[in-house]
Amino acid sequence: MEQNMRVAIVYASVTGNTKELAEAIQEKFQQRLVGAELFTVKDFPLKHISAYDGLVLGTFTWSNGWSDGCIPRVMRRIFSHLEYVEADHLATAVFGTGDRFFPDFCAAVDEFRDMLYVQSDLAVTMKVELRPQSDDMVKCERFADCLIEKIKGQSPTVVTR
Ligand SMILES: Cc1cc2nc3c(=O)[nH]c(=O)nc-3n(C[C@H](O)[C@H](O)[C@H](O)COP(=O)(O)O)c2cc1C
């Protein structure tokens, strides 16, 4: 294992796109010999965050009934937790899937990015349209590498638009 790093990948998914992306990212960490555990956000115990060197969040973007471009309700609890917890030294990363049909493409990723940039040591963000395709795998590799470098204390923040 790479310096015994522990990474948690915590995601939400309704139709499976974000789950598929989360699994692809997990594979990239594993290929780099980094222990990456996958959790749905409902199953992730918030009190265990401090046990990890890196926290990866995966979210889709949804509607709240009035407007689109929202964080899904199921991701709100971890968002609020990270807004208030002491996480300056936690390396974080956020990815998401969305649909360019909507004006606010992957807006939930942007919302997490802004909060994590202030509250934690944000390494990287990534947006993918709907189901991940084979050419997204290079992005997943770079995504994993950026977090690993951040955990090692070697990299600046990389943001994807
Ligand atoms: C009601 C509804 C609202 C949505 N709003 C947005 C949006 O504002 N921006 C966006 O990029 N995608 C939006 N999407 C698309 C989803 O984020 C996209 O299909 C995503 O890949 C679903 O993830 P999942 O398969 O992991 O559940 C919306 C989809 C639905 C059904």
Give residue 157's pLDDT band: very low, low, confident or very high (50, 70, 90).
Answer: confident
Instruction: Specify the pLDDT at position 86.
Output: 86
Measured in Å, residue 56 CA sits from the centre of ligand 1 at: 19
Atom of ligand 1 nearest to the CA of 130: 21
Ligand 1 contacts CB of residue 106 (under 6 A): yes
Q: Which residue's CA is the nearest one to ligand 1's atom 31?
A: 62
Atom of ligand 1 nearest to the CA of 12: 26
Summarize pLDDT for 65-116 with one digit per residue, the tens. Answer: 899 999 999 999 999 999 999 899 999 999 999 999 999 999 999 999 999 9
Ligand 1 contacts CB of residue 132 (under 6 A): no
Q: Which residue's CA is the nearest one to ligand 1's atom 27?
A: 14
Instruction: Specify the pLDDT at position 14.
Output: 98
Measured in Å, residue 98 CA sits from the centre of ligand 1 at: 5
Pocket mutation for ligand 1, best pick of 11, 17, 62, 110 (most atoms within 8 Å of C-beta): 62
Q: What is the DSSP string of the chain?
A: -GGG-EEEEEE--SSSHHHHHHHHHHHHHHHTT-EEEEEETTT--GGGGGG-SEEEEEEE-B--SS-SSB--HHHHHHHHHHHHS--TT-EEEEEEEE-TTSSSTTHHHHHHHHHHHHHSEEEEEEEEESS--GGGHHHHHHHHHHHHHHHTT----B---
Atom of ligand 1 nearest to the CA of 106: 11
Summarize pLDDT for 130-140 with one digit per residue, the tens. Answer: 999 999 999 99
